[in-house]
Homo-oligomer: A and B are copies of this chain.
Amino acid sequence: MQLHDFYLSGNCYKVRLFLGLLGLQAEMLNVDLPCGAQKHPEFLALNPRGQVPVLVDDGQPLVDSQAILVYLARRYGEAHWYPQDALSQGLISGWLSLTANEIHNGAARARVGLKFGRPVDLEDAQARGRQVLELVDTHLAGRLWLVGDQPTIADVAVYPYLALADEGGLDLAPYENLAAWFARLRALPGYLDLPRL
């Protein structure tokens, strides 16, 4: 199993974290994002979207960090990571969509603007980021995990860019439920540290 990876990317970290939680090893292949390696023809042949991470397992490429979590959970994970009943899968998928859109275009984009100097509408990204922090913090009141009573891939998907939100200029201090959930995630066996700048 190989992971086409960039260390500082929260989406790549998300996959490395889940590999760690599952006790799996992958060969790490660095994709030099600052040099635009993800847009070179040989990388586009692997992932026409021009994005990291890409997981290659048994020669089969899988793109998109949320999709890789689904794949790894189904193939290698204990059932609680992605339970097979319709309701759990529906609820988890709702968090995967939130991660792909609102978190990507909020907390993650603010971090990319502030820390990588990419041109983003910082105010807009931070406003979206705060909305999601508020939403997730409120959802976690009285809950241990986002869906059900055990950790799922929803937690693994949502965690990285919320935990890194301070690097996008967002203040995490007001969110007590988030802080407690972060602590629960960090206590899981196999947890890996965040890729802080």
Please give the residue numbers on chain A whose beta carbons come within 8 Å of chain B beta carbons, in ascending order. Answer: 48-49, 60, 62-64, 66-68, 70-72, 74-75, 84-87, 89-94, 96-98, 100-102, 104-105, 135, 138-139
* Nearest CB of B to A103, in Å: 10
- With the chains together, A67 CA to B68 CA distance in Å? 17
User: Chain B residues with Cβ under 8 A from A74's Cβ?
Assistant: 84-86, 89-90
22 contacts between A and B (CB under 8 A): A48-B138, A49-B102, A62-B90, A64-B97, A66-B93, A66-B94, A66-B97, A67-B90, A67-B96, A67-B97, A70-B90, A70-B93, A71-B86, A71-B90, A74-B86, A74-B89, A84-B84, A93-B96, A96-B100, A97-B100, A100-B100, A105-B105
* Min distance, Cβ A6 to any Cβ of chain B, angstroms: 18
**Contacting residue for A75 out of B66, B72, B86, B93, CB 8 A:** B86
Give chain B residues whose Cβ lies under 8 Å from the Cβ of A97.
Answer: 64, 66-67, 96-97, 100
Complex CA gap A93/B85 in Å reads 16
- For residue A105, which residues in chain B have a CB less than 8 angstroms away from its CB? 101, 105
Q: Establish whether residues B67 and A87, one from each chain, have CB atoms under 8 Å apart when the complex forms.
A: no
With A101-B104, A138-B48: A94-B67 Cβ-Cβ less than 8 Å? yes
When distances are taken between beta carbons in the complex, the residues of chain B under 8 Å from A87 are 60, 62, 71, 75
Name the residue among A86, A90, A101, A105 with the largest chain B CB count within 10 angstroms.
A90
